Structure 1
């Protein structure tokens, strides 16, 4: 049995994408059996800047081109979450205890038809726009505190 506390956090970038109506993009993960929706996010490659990772992940998960997203704000530091103990050995080959994330707030400059979740390596089976306040209720329970913190960080930009 691995000592979970000795495992590192996976470096990650997350994207809160706002449309013109002030709603946030969420996708329903392909690999999840629970009714959970999340914002785009993913690992930061070695040597990659967090902002570049955020744009890359946005493209990989939503098909949204970089010119359709405008940076509004970023988290001043990293936000952390821990995986539930029963998932630690099952996700990321047991290498990580959770994630340390840099979050970025983007304004979506495109149209809905600029979004295509059928990417080269799809992560979402469905997507929609939601009110920011709905985010904590849509995410898996172990990420609720994280999503609440993101809402607080970007509150000045949310209607």
Structure 2
């Protein structure tokens, strides 16, 4: 789904047995929380990209979480002015759902993109995410509520 106008990426949703999801605070915007996400590398499948991004940004891997589902459609959003980089207009993303293997799992934020984490209810996370990503969060996470 990636194109010259939209960067192909993934989003990783990690939940626990209490129905909460892992949210991460952005280092560049304190108080702004989101899910791990990132671009798909050349030659990488979307699910491979999701596993890589999850491990790079949170330190979590197959011993900590298991893949349980994938949202069936790509979500697309445009970056607002000031966020756009180069000729790309925004991102097209595949969303993947993981379950923590136990509720004591603790991620390690990468310190570059994220500096804090917590287990949260989905509505709280949707309220905290940056405005231009909110429709994607509502669409995907609302479909699972």
Asked if these proteins are the same fold (TM beyond 0.5), I'd say: yes
Within 1, Cα distance between the matches of 2:63 and 2:94?
21
Contact kept, 8 Å, 2:17 with 2:103, in 1: the verdict is: no
Structure 2 residue 80 is matched with structure 1 residue 96: no
Match of 2:108 in 1: 116
Structure 2 SS opposite 1:148: helix
* Aligned pair partner of 2:20 in 23, 26, 29: 23
Q: CA RMSD in A?
A: 1.9
**Deviation digits for residues 88-123 of structure 1, max 9, x if unmatched?**
1xxxx4242110000001101145454111x3x632
Match of 2:123 in 1: 133
> 4+ residue runs of structure 1 moved beyond 2 angstroms?
110-114, 152-155
Deviation of the 1:7 alpha carbon: 5.5
Contact kept, 8 Å, 2:64 with 2:105, in 1: the verdict is: no
In the alignment of these two chains, the number of paired residues is: 143
Q: Normalising by structure 2, report the TM-score.
A: 0.89
Match of 1:56 in 2: 52
Q: Please tell me whether Structure 1 or Structure 2 has the larger radius of gyration of its CA atoms.
A: 1
Within 1, Cα distance between the matches of 2:94 and 2:4?
19
Which runs of 5 or more residues in structure 2 are unaligned? none
Q: Normalising by structure 1, report the TM-score.
A: 0.82
Within 1, Cα distance between the matches of 2:43 and 2:86?
22
Within 2, Cα distance between the matches of 1:130 and 1:152?
15
